[in-house]
Each structure stands twice: as structure tokens, then as C-alpha cells.
Structure 1
Amino acid sequence: MTLSNPNMPQRQLGTDGPMVGAIGFGAMSFAGFFGAADDEVSLTTLQAAVEAGIDFWDTANIYGMGRSESIIGRYFREVGDPGITLATKASIIPGPPRKFSNDADHLRSELESSLTKLNRSKVELFYAHRRDQSIEIETLAETMAGFIQEGLIDGYGLSEVAPSTIRRAHAVAPVRAVQNEYSLWTRLPELGILQTCDELGVAFVPFSPLARGALGSVVLDPATFSPKDFRSTNPRFTGVNWGYNLERIKAFHAYAESRGTTTTALALAWVLNTGDNLIPIPGTRTPEHLNEWLPALSMEFSEDDFDAIEEILPVGWAYGDRYNDSQSIGPERYC
């Protein structure tokens, strides 16, 4: 079995990493974080990713407590592995209270469990999902280097970290990728993360590049979110904040329409055109939404385009924090 779209533009996953499609796939939605998910539909979504040439898939042990990983493993078992570059993550210990562990024994145990679910003997990329402040980052880098030597992983990454953490880890063992939130409504990485990754030759993997669906082609109505939906208690989707955000989002919809494209494609193209080392991983539960991403690949941006979007969605435009108080535990603050 092979990928069906060899014309997918390629980007390198870190200086020492493989070439992968410019758009990756985030499998968090398979766990029901953004509404009820159907495993059978999830499998058809993975098939749609293969047909689109999307060969960099991202999951985590915490997504549905193994559900997302198991769906990917089932796909490989039933359909085959067409040469997917696979990433998974560990270190979050669900609560309450929520905790984090970068301990070598914990990461090894979680990694081995993930490999079983994924029907893999190794993964190409293994992230520390959050930094455990009780363990020096150099120690974590040494642990990851050990996993590489053992052949359990090809490279390692960090998630929701500060530029200083990247530099310290990279000095011990090269970091292949950093995964932080980045989109037109979350631009914090511009204050050091983008520059550090570019300098060190580290791939930057933006998650939620479509603003958790806020910049998708359908205008969201938070009143329809289920109580289990991650966004139902997220500050940007609740209270007066959503009303203010919606005004800007509708203006962006109108601009996309004036350009003859969709909000989804335009928002994703903006991320892709920010830098050649960015490999965004939008997520979805359906093949239909996945196919809405693809026009972004052929969309070229001029300085006028960036300026026009900046006028509609200026840096810092979003009302409300990107996480509520409980969700914000773990990401490193650096500004």
C-alpha cells in the first residue's frame, strides 16, 4: 500500500528527520475532545489522509486514554501502513490533580504501551507532552537519546515549552520537533519559539492551526457544544468573549470569500506561509473536513495578503485566554 498523492509538498521534520507532507494530521479529535467521535468514521478519515498524501500523523497516549492510538493501530493492522511518519506523546498523568512526569521509567512504560496500541515496533517521533519541572530538561534529553539508541524512537520532541527549554535540551541531544499551539488567534510562538526553532534546525509543529475550529469553514455556535467538548469551558468560546471573537471571525469569512476560497484553506495557508520549517497538524473527525485543508497547499501569499489579514485579525485580537485555569497547568510561560 502506498500514499495516493505523491504531489503533496514536502517539508523536513527537523535537520536529521524524514521528509513529510507539508500538512500533517492531528488525531486528538478521534477521542471525542471536540464532540462525539465514531471509530468507523475515524478510520475513513485516516484513509482520506492517505489519499491526500498526508503522511505525518500525530497522536498521544492521553487522547481518549489510548482510544486515538488504538484507532491508528487498527488502521495499520486492517489496511496496512503506507509509510506513515508517526508521532505520539506521553508525560501527562490525568487527575485530579493533573500531574506530569518526565521520569525515564514512566516514559518508557507509556511508550511501550503506546507502541502496542499503535501496532508499531517504534515511532519516528516521541514527544514529552509537558515538561516536568521536577526533572532537569537535560536529564529528559538524555532519556530520549537512550530511547533513540534502543531503536524505540527515531527522534524526540517537546510540547508547550519555552525557547530556553528547547536550547538546553538541544545542547544535550538534538530536538527533532517542537509542538506548540499556533494560529491566527494564538501567536505567542512569534515571541521566541519560531526564531529558536529556525536557528537550531528544529521543525515547528503548530497544533490547532485552525483555532480549535473557530477558523473553520462553518461558523461555530458554542451553545451546541456538549459538556465533554474541550471548548465548552474554554474562555475564548464562552461568555462575552465569544461575541467579540465572532465579529472578527465573520469578517475573516467575508475576506476569504472575496478571495474565492474558504476560511479553512486561508487560515491554514497563512500558517504554511509563515515559514518552511512549519508543519501544521490540523485535526478533524471527518473526511469532508480534511479535504477542505488541501487548497491551502497551492495558495501563495504576498506581503499585501499578510497585511490584509493582519488588519482583519491583528496580533492579539482574540478575546479570552487560550486555556482556562485547569487547562493552563503545564504549558511553560516565557513572556
Structure 2
Amino acid sequence: MRKVKLGTAEVSCLGIGAMSFAEFYGPTTDENSYAILDAAMALGVTHIDTSNVYGMGRSENAIGAFLRANPGARDHFHIATKGGINRSGEGTQPFDNSPDHLEAALDASLARMGIDCVDLYYVHRRQEARPIEEVAETLAALVKKGKCRAIGFSEIAPSSLRRAQAVHPVAAVQSEYSLGTRFAEMGLVQTCAELGTTLVAFSPVMRSMLTDTPLAEDVIPGLPFLKTNPRFMAPNYAANRALTDGFRALAAEMGVPAASLAIAWVLHRGAHVLPIPGTRNVAHFRDLVKGTELSLSPEDMTRIEQVLPIGWAHGDRYSYDQWYGPERFS
């Protein structure tokens, strides 16, 4: 599998988004998560991307249990986690980027996974009142202490990336990026390329929408995040399902699963782009990995974007409440 530079490391060009290990998109078991990690080792996928708040530690606990049961797995995997969201109930600030909070969160993550260092530590959400330069210094101190090897940020603007980069190299910025969510092309894709920062693309198959088996409409009310997400609410969801039928038809015509084609499209947006889809199913995981094997011609890219032109999706990517934290830019 092709490699992508991430800080000073080289990782597989596809990673695992481990939010799915914590039932974000529906029920799962730790055994399902272990099966995904087994398949990743067999298929050459090396990057795992998790967070301390995914299932309030459940995702990290599953990863830790797998590492303990498979002694060679730690050397295989490049592990990233995140901190900075405050769900302790202490105070009124939902985001805490203070040195004490970020280090304590990282220490707890390390304990859950049974490791002494993560390869990449992101700030999950910026605390607006705290200058990002100060936060970059905090993360740099954690690198010096040997608790993480590289630093990153999630959902920040290109201007914020430049400010942080001036203090310490930023290995990765995580952002939603797919055929249905293309705002990152308004400066973030370009700035990451210029600065040598990896753009870690989450939800690259648009939360199942760009697969052959989108989530059934009657499942969505049972998923706390999606039931209030504009793209998955009526009437937008039906409209989006109808529009993506054309994408599924195109994938079938090309002889590949829709998820594979969606991943291939993201990978073709830049050599520094690293998609991290999540899944609870090994067969689906194999479809995602197959996307790394596809070579798309300029004509193929044109056909894909004729079916799903920029701006096609109905509804915003976040609700009003969900927009609290991510940085908007234009």
C-alpha cells in the first residue's frame, strides 16, 4: 500500500477512524473492533485514529486490549488520539486546552491503551479564548516529555494552522473531506500541502452515504449525532439518497464498490491527504482498502464530479449545536 508522510513517520495512505469502535454509527462489539484491527494488520493499514471521548474511553480501551493480546501490533500501528474536549462536568467550558488538562487527558489515554507514547496527539477542539500559539507550545512540551511523537489539530482554519506551525511543526490537521463535503478545498488542502502537514480526512464516505449500503432511514433516529444532523434529517436525507444513487450506479458501471470509489477520489485530491473511514464490518473495511488500489484518470475524476458536482448535498454538514467548536473559514 502507498505510504503517506505524517510528521517524521510514514503511514499507510488509508487509516482507521476508530469512532466506530464506540457505537457512534450503531451497535458493535469489541470483537468486531478486534476483527477490523486484525484485517488492518493483514492488509497493511497502519494508522489508527481515535479520541479519548469516543465512547468515553471505549475506543481506546478496545485498542489497548487488542495491543495487549497481540504483542507485535504496537510496532505495526501508528496510533493517534485526541484531547481537549471537557466532559468531566467540572466548570462550564466544554473545551479545555490548558496544559494540565491536555496532559492529564493524554496520560489517561496512554493508560487505557497500555502504551507509554502515542505517535500523534491532536487537540480535538480549540478553546477559543486560548491563543493557538500557547496550545502549540503545550503540545511541544508533551513531545519533549516523550508522551507523543508529533502534534496535530482537528477542525481548524488555515490561518490557525499557520500560527501553530510558526511555534512547532504540525504533523496533521483533521478535517471532514469527501465528495459531499469540500469546504477544505477553500484553503486547507492547499495550506497543508504548502506546510508539509498531512490532511487527515474523516468521514470520507460521508457517514455511509457514499457506499452501496447507506444507513437505513429508520436507523437514524437511534443515533444521537445523526438524528439532529441536517443531511440525515427529512427531507434532506431522501434527497441525498436519491442523488447518491447516481454515484452508486457509476461505481457499478466501473466495476467497483461505491465505498472504494469514494476513497479513491479522496486519495486523488493530494498525496498528503489521508482518509480515515470508520466501519464495524470487515467486508466493508476490505471495500475501503480496495479504494487505495484504484487509479483514476482525469476522465474518471470528471465523470465522478459530473454525478456529484461540488455543492450537491442537501443540508449543512453540522447542526447549529454541532457547529460549536469547529473553525469556519472562507
- Specify if TM > 0.5: yes
- Please name the residue that 1:69 is paired with: 60
> How is 1:205-224 mapped onto 2 (pairs within 5 angstroms)?
205-224=200-219
Alignment of 1:119-138 (within 5 A): 119-138=114-133
Aligned residue in 1 for 2:84: 91
Count of paired positions: 326
Change (3 A) 1:95 1:78: closer
Counting aligned pairs with the same residue, the percent is: 43
Deviation at 1:98, TM superposition (A): 7.0
Residue 148 (structure 2) pairs with residue 148 (structure 1): no
Instruction: Tell me the alpha carbon deviations over residues 312-333 of structure 1, each in whole angstroms, 9 at most, x when there is no partner.
Output: 1011111001111221110001
CA-to-aligned-CA distance 1:263-290 (integer Å, 9 cap, x gap): 0000000001110001110111121211
Cα separation, 2, equivalents of 1:298 and 1:40: 27
CA distance in 2, matches of 1:70, 1:298: 31
1:5-24 CA distance string (max 9 Å, x none): xxx2111113xx21111101
Q: Deviations over 1:283-313 (max 9, x none)?
A: 1112121111122122111211111111110
Determine which of 99, 109, 131 is the counterpart of 1:114.
Answer: 109
Aligned to 1:4: none
Which residue of structure 2 aligns with residue 299 of structure 1?
294
Question: Which 5+ residue runs of structure 1 have no aligned equivalent?
Answer: 1-7
Which residue matches 1:54? Answer: 45
Amino acid across the alignment from 2:119: E
In the alignment, structure 1 residue 194 sits paired with structure 2 residue 166: no
Secondary structure at the aligned position of 1:20 is classed as strand
Q: Using the TM superposition, name which of 245-254 and 60-69 deviates more.
A: 245-254
Contact in 1 for aligned 2:84/2:95 (Cα 8 Å)? yes
Provide the rounded CA distance (Å) in 2 between the counterparts of 1:149 and 1:219: 44
The whole-number CA distance in structure 2 between the counterparts of 1:95 and 1:241 is 35
What is the alpha-carbon distance in structure 2 between the residues aligned to residue 132 and residue 216 of structure 1?
A: 35
Alignment CA distance shift 1:229-1:217 (3 Å): farther
Asked whether the equivalents of residues 211 and 248 of structure 2 are also in contact (C-alpha less than 8 Å), the reply is no
Equivalent of residue 247 in structure 2, options 242, 252, 258: 252
2:220 and 2:232 in contact (8 A); partners too: no
C-alpha root-mean-square deviation of aligned residues, in Å? 1.3
Contact 1:35–1:229 (Cα < 8 Å) also in 2: no
CA offset at residue 164 of structure 1?
A: 0.4
**Is 1:288 matched with 2:283?**
yes
What is the CA–CA distance in structure 1 between the aligned matches of 2:179 and 2:224, rounded to whole Å? Answer: 22
Match of 2:305 in 1: 310
- How many Å apart are 1:160 and its aligned residue? 0.5
Which of 22, 25, 30 is residue 16 of structure 2 equivalent to?
25
